[in-house]
Amino acid sequence: MLNNSFTIRFASLNLEKNQVMQRTQPLRMFLTLTLFSGFAAACAQTARPLPLARTPPMGWNSWNHFAQTVTDTDVRAAADAMVANGMRDAGYIYVNIDDSWEGTRDADGILRSNDKFPDMKALANYVHSKGLKLGIYSSPGAKTCAKYEGSLGYEAQDAKTYAEWGIDFLKYDLCSYGDVLRKEGQGNVAAAFPLQKQAYRKMYDALVATGRPIVYSLCQYGMNSVWEWGPAVGGNLWRTTGDIKDTYERMSLIGFAQAGLSKYAGPGHWNDPDMLEVGNGGMNGDEYRTHMSLWVMLAAPLLAGNDLSRMNAETLAILENRDAISIDQDPLGAQGDRLSAVGSMEIWSKPLSDGSDAVALFNRGELETPMTLKMSDLNLENAVKLHDVWANKDITILNGTYTAVVPKHGVVLLRIRKQ
Ligand code: GLA
């Protein structure tokens, strides 16, 4: 489907066709080749049997809404909600406890959960009984970011404990290990790169040694171009950025900065621009649809970060939109990338396994704007079928152009098929 590559032009702007074509023509071939070479490299570099995280992990994480207040009750409520509201059936499987579950170590060094989590094994059993999986959090440092007990010096023991509890996912957050790196690098954390890599690999080896398939999520905010070495230390996903916030400014800054990283993602190993904020209240519907659309175009992990037991219909409709999810979870596993950016308008595309393309028209500006797709610029015939994901509308195009009005901070997300 190489001839299915496309380019896009705004009717209102005079973007030179040649310039755009040059930039975008080889996109599909490039993505296909890099995807498969990345996939092969990941298999060769890790002893991990696939298909762990064959598609970007989906689920929920406690941090964005509950932060340090999260309890066993909240986690059970999240699991219950995921079953009751259809999220589990839409693909959200991981229920991830973030920082603040950690208690103290016993005389043998075995880490116990704190009072908020009286019985981690019972919690795992509960979550598993719902057809879901349980995730947990730690740090290669002595302390986590919220100053709880980290895994430094106890990696093998902690991995064993997680496996005994029935944990399925570990987020491993650099936090105070930064101090160790700073010392090693004489003030420069990035200079201590080999030690950092070693620390992440150490926990991976400990996880593998347990024999339990545990998805491994690296969190070190994208330092040292983690996407280049994440697979080599066993990462199934790696944070590419600092923390997200529930504001359009921060979400869009992080999300749109992912341009250029597509070649590093593929089945089993994903770029992670951080967890979702959809439904936490700091953005409007258009902005949350932009957030979700951008994340699915990026083949990003979809870890909801809101209170699932108190969710309005619009939030649920965004999180559960099957067409949006199918773009994220497409079996080809190709991350989308930016085709063009003109002023505040950006066009992103993502090739899909059935030969169709997902295309997102993003308006980062402060005024609603008409944007026009010219099918000839997409290397397509005049006649195509579009599906507008958020409007849930099929549109047949016969004359080679499609114009949509994109709201301020909003998006039009399309799936485009040849007739
Ligand atoms: C860091 C991570 C966040 C969260 C907190 C917990 O800031 O980036 O995602 O895990 O630590 O303390």
The pairing of beta strand 302-304 with beta strand 169-173: unpaired
So what's the pLDDT on residue 50? 53
So what's the pLDDT on residue 34? 43
d(CA 279, CA 189): 35
So what's the pLDDT on residue 43? 40
So what's the pLDDT on residue 380? 76
For the stretch 257-279, pLDDT in tens is: 999 999 999 999 999 999 999 99
Closest CA to 197 of 168, 235, 169: 235
Over the chain (419 residues), the average pLDDT of each successive run of 10 is: 26 26 37 42 46 95 98 98 98 99 98 98 98 99 98 98 98 98 95 97 98 98 98 98 98 98 98 98 98 99 98 98 98 95 94 94 97 80 95 96 96 93
Which residue has the CA at smallest separation from atom 11 of ligand 1?
A: 145
Residue with tokens 């995280």: 53
Residue pair 94/56 in contact (Cβ under 8 Å)? The answer is no
CB-ligand 1 contact for 320 (6 Å cutoff): no
CB-ligand 1 contact for 136 (6 Å cutoff): no
Q: How far is the CA of 16 from the centre of ligand 1 (A)?
A: 43
CB-ligand 1 contact for 317 (6 Å cutoff): no
Is the torsion defined by CA of 16, 17, 18, 24 positive or negative? positive
So what's the pLDDT on residue 373? 83
Ligand 1 atom nearest residue 244's Cα = 9
CB-ligand 1 contact for 307 (6 Å cutoff): no
- Helix/strand/coil (H, E, C) string of the chain? CHHHCCCCCCCCCCCCHHHHHHHHCCHHHHHHHHHHHHHHHHHHHCCCCCCCCCCCCEEEECHHHHHHHCCHHHHHHHHHHHHHCCHHHHCCCEEECCCCCEEEECCCCCEEECCCCCCHHHHHHHHHHCCCEEEEEECCCCECCCCCECCCCCHHHHHHHHHHHCCCEEEEECCCHHHHHHHHCCCCHHHHHHHHHHHHHHHHHHHHHHCCCCEEEEECCCHHHHHHHCHHHCCCEEECCCCCCCCHHHHHHHHHCCCCCHHHCECCEEEECCCCCCCCCCCCHHHHHHHHHHHHHCCCCEEECCCCCCCCHHHHHHHCCHHHHHHHCCCCCCCCEEEEEECCEEEEEEECCCCCEEEEEEECCCCCEEEEEEHHHHCCCCCEEEEECCCCEEEEECCCEEEEEECCCCEEEEEEEEC
- As annotated, the active-site residues are 173, 243
Q: How far is the CA of 98 from the centre of ligand 1 (A)?
A: 8
So what's the pLDDT on residue 418? 85
CB-ligand 1 contact for 63 (6 Å cutoff): yes
Non-local (6+) Cβ contacts of 364 within 8 A are 252, 256, 344, 345, 346, 409
Whether the full predicted model's pTM is greater than 0.85, yes or no, is: yes
Q: How far is the CA of 309 from the centre of ligand 1 (A)?
A: 22
CB-ligand 1 contact for 146 (6 Å cutoff): yes
So what's the pLDDT on residue 67? 98
d(CA 335, CA 31): 8
So what's the pLDDT on residue 103? 98
Residue pair 101/138 in contact (Cβ under 8 Å)? The answer is no
For the stretch 232-253, pLDDT in tens is: 999 999 999 999 999 999 999 9
Which residue has the CA at smallest separation from atom 1 of ligand 1?
A: 145
